[in-house]
């Protein structure tokens, strides 16, 4: 029996109203449970691609499917379902946390999907346990460290039971301990993950597969270690490993 992929993109092209062509016929399939790093220089089209996954950008040409369901910006009910399946964790957790307590932040999405009472409490607690933040449930988010706030931001998305977790530069601004704690969380999750990052060591640590998007097209799609071993490929796409970094893990 063939498993329906979490993400299927066929011949996706997109141009902004000013005429800037951001994507040129992108094809990408991500299987359920995969962790895939989306790499590429600034302006490569990574954000534009992600915005198509939950219908923020309408599909102009080609198609995008999430767990088999086509993303159609004109289908309001379908779009609501899609957006519950594709959870985006922003680079700055403060863009995601706005309620008085951690628990209320995590409850916000499920509450708006109609979940109430004991079921809502259970969903919130489960999401906080997944990121190791249950003891902070009644704490104000602004009293937490940056790394803790990022984990709570992940919990707000996990509470929606997504098909795909999209993480935008998850390691940025984290100290070494917070970086390790978040990596432990990511490894423990049973969900498809798309990690948009310039942090190549983090991509290698957490994602078995990497895709390089450059100039609106996919120029490489392979095992992460294989891609990071190709110095010419990295240089051509303005990607660099830290000086002295070894690819042996």
> What one-character DSSP code corresponds to residue 52?
H
Given a cut of 90, is residue 1 above it in pLDDT? Answer: no
The answer as to whether 125 is a domain residue is yes
Map tokens 């895939």 to a residue.
36
pTM beyond 0.85 = yes
Instruction: Say if strands 209-214 and 35-39 run parallel, antiparallel, or are unpaired.
Output: parallel
Establish if 247 belongs to a structural domain.
no
Q: Say whether pLDDT at 25 is over 60.
A: yes
Rounded mean pLDDT of 112-118?
A: 93
For residue 246, what pLDDT band results from cuts at 50, 70 and 90? Answer: confident
In a domain, 241, yes or no: no
Longest dimension (CA), the chain: 56
Among 24, 7, 8, 6, CA closest to 218? 24
C-alpha angle 203-71-193 in degrees, rounded to nearest 5? 20
> What does the pLDDT average to over 128-153?
97
* Structure confidence at residue 2 (pLDDT): 65
The per-residue pLDDT for 141 is 96
Q: Which domain holds residue 67?
A: 7-236
Mean pLDDT of the chain: 94
| pLDDT score of 185 | 96
Q: Is the pLDDT of residue 249 over 70?
A: no
Predicted local distance difference test score (pLDDT) of residue 118: 96
**pLDDT at 139 (0 to 100):** 97
CA nearest 205: which of 232, 245, 234? 245
Coil, strand or helix at 167: strand
Measured at the CA of 146, the angle between CA 188 and CA 130, to 5 degrees, comes to 20
pLDDT for the residue 170 = 95
The CATH number linked to 199 is 3.40.50.300
∠ CA 14-198-194, nearest 5°, is 60
Any domain includes 242: no
Check residue 3 and give its pLDDT. Answer: 86
- pLDDT of res. 136: 97
- Is residue 244 domain-resident? no
Dihedral of CA atoms 171, 169, 71, 1 in degrees, nearest 10, equals: -40
Q: Which residue has the higher pLDDT, 93 or 1?
A: 93
The answer to whether residue 2 is domain-embedded is no
State the total domains in the chain: 1
pLDDT tens digits for range 179-204: 999 999 999 999 999 999 999 999 99
d(CA 226, CA 209): 9
CA-wise closest residue to 191 among 41, 4, 60, 31: 31
Long-range contacts, stretch 79-82, CB < 8 angstroms, 24+ apart: 79/54, 79/55, 82/54, 82/55
């Amino acid at each position: 029996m063939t498993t329906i992929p979490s993400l299927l993109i066929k011949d996706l092209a997109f141009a902004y109203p000013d005429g800037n062509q951001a994507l040129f016929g992108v094809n990408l399939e991500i299987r359920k449970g995969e962790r895939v790093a989306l790499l590429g220089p600034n302006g490569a089209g990574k954000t534009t691609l992600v915005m198509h996954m939950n219908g923020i950008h309408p599909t102009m040409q080609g198609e995008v499917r999430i767990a088999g369901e086509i993303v159609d910006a004109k289908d309001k009910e379908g779009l609501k379902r899609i957006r519950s399946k594709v959870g985006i964790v922003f680079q700055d957790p403060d863009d995601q946390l706005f309620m008085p307590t951690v628990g209320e932040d995590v409850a916000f999405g499920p509450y708006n999907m109609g979940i109430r009472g004991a079921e809502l409490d259970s969903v919130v607690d489960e999401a906080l346990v997944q990121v190791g933040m249950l003891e902070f449930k009644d704490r104000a988010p602004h009293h937490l460290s940056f790394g803790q706030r990022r984990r709570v931001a992940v919990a707000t998305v996990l509470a929606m039971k997504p098909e795909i977790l999209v993480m935008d530069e998850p390691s940025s601004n984290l100290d070494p301990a917070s970086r390790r704690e978040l990596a432990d969380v990511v490894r423990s999750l049973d969900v498809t993950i798309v990690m948009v990052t310039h942090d190549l060591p983090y991509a290698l640590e957490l994602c078995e597969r990497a895709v390089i998007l450059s100039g609106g097209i996919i120029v490489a799609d392979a095992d992460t270690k294989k891609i990071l071993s190709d110095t010419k490929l990295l240089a051509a796409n303005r990607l660099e490993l830290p000086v002295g970094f070894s690819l042996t893990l």
